[in-house]
């Protein structure tokens, strides 16, 4: 199955609440996923809105994820750790109320520490967090995102290692971030194959994939750009996913948000049409190609 959505309230949606954004994603864009952004500090969501979102998403089969605030450091000082735990816990509790599948987090920074030591610290913090979530009966999974800058913890290998060491956590595969961090390594089908090969030990049944174009230099991401402006092609990735019948959710985190989510959809449907020989396709229906 392929799901497609965008990170945040669609730019073209006049209402600026998450509730408005979700209804718009389903009714106007006809997409079936959304990642709700709690990224600007601590966003407080009223129970009423969370409940509406829960019911609407369930009735309309829209898969939800939540992105926790950006400024989190699970390798930081005790004080930073406490603040990070607080933000993530709140995000996860709200995510759970909405019925979201994942709460996405940026793991943290190396600071002056070695990569190895940072990995240990992050793993320890994630374990602690996982226990806190369990205690609070939160069943939304922690998603550790791959990061696009050298000084930020979160190469694909590091994220996989954390997920291997902490049960029930999943990697959030930011293809644009991986592409930037490896200085543009994702160009061909084999390059994407390598990513999935690395993920294999985690035995994932579903992949949460972030997509965006990205400007980078020397293995560092500068900023996100529209998918078509970047140099990471989508087709080899889509072809691979269709061939392997992977269960994926694509979240556009391009500056064009929903416009690029729709672009992803068109590309997926183009790939389906190529396989079926028909002139129409619906990204939700893969029955004829499987």
Q: By CB under 5 A, name the binding residues for Zn ion.
A: 145
How far apart are alpha carbons 79 and 97 in whole angstroms? 27
Kindly tell me which of 177 and 272 has the beta carbon lying closer to Zn ion: 177
Quick one: 105 or 234, whose CB is closer to Zn ion?
A: 105
* Residue at shortest CB range from Zn ion: 145
End-to-end CA distance of the chain: 10
Can you read off the two tokens belonging to residue 126? 């994630």
CB of 47 to Zn ion, least distance (A): 26
Neighbours of 198 (CB within 10 A): 16
For Zn ion, the closer of residues 145 and 221 by Cβ is: 145
Least separation, in Å, of the C-beta of 38 and Zn ion?
11
Name 68's Cβ contacts closer than 8 Å, sequence gap at least 6: 38, 39, 87, 88, 91, 92, 103, 104, 105, 106
Q: How far is the CB of 104 from Zn ion (least distance, A)?
A: 6
Q: Give the shortest CB-276-to-Zn ion separation in angstroms.
A: 35
DSSP 92-123: HHHHHHHT-SEEEE--EE-TTS-HHHHHHHHH
68 vs 262, beta carbon nearer Zn ion:
68
Q: Closest approach of Cβ 55 to Zn ion, in Å?
A: 27
Residues 6+ apart with CB under 8 A from 200: none
Judge contact between 70 and 105, C-beta under 8 A. no
- Given the complex with Zn ion, which of 253 and 269 has the nearer CB atom? 253
> Residue 222, SS3?
strand
Given the complex with Zn ion, which of 145 and 158 has the nearer CB atom? Answer: 145
Shortest distance, CB of residue 148 to Zn ion, whole angstroms?
9
């Amino acid at each position: 199955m392929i799901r497609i959505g965008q990170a945040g309230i669609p730019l073209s949606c006049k209402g600026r609440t998450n509730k408005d954004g979700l209804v718009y994603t389903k009714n106007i864009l006809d997409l079936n996923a959304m990642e709700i952004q709690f990224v600007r500090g601590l966003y407080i969501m009223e129970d009423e809105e969370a409940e509406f979102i829960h019911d609407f998403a369930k009735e309309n089969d829209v898969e939800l994820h939540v992105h926790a605030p950006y400024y989190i450091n699970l390798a930081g000082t005790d004080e930073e750790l406490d603040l990070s735990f607080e933000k993530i816990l709140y995000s996860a509790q709200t995510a759970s109320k909405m019925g979201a599948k994942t709460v996405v987090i940026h793991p943290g920074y190396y600071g002056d520490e070695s990569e190895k030591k940072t990995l240990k610290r992050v793993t320890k913090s994630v374990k602690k967090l996982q226990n806190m979530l369990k205690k609070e009966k939160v069943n939304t999974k922690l998603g550790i995102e791959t990061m696009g800058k050298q000084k930020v913890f979160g190469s694909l290998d590091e994220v996989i290692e954390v997920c291997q060491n902490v049960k029930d956590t999943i990697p959030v595969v930011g293809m644009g971030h991986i592409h930037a961090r490896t200085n543009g390594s994702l160009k061909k089908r084999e390059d994407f194959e390598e990513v999935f090969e690395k993920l294999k030990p985690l035995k994932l049944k579903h992949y949460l994939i972030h997509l965006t174009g990205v400007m980078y230099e020397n293995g560092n991401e500068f900023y996100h750009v529209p998918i078509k402006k970047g140099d990471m092609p989508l087709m080899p990735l889509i072809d691979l996913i269709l061939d392997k019948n992977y269960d994926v959710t694509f979240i556009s985190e391009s500056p064009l948000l929903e416009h690029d989510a729709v672009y992803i959809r068109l590309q997926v449907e183009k790939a389906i049409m190529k396989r079926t020989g028909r002139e129409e396709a619906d990204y939700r229906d893969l029955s004829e190609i499987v």
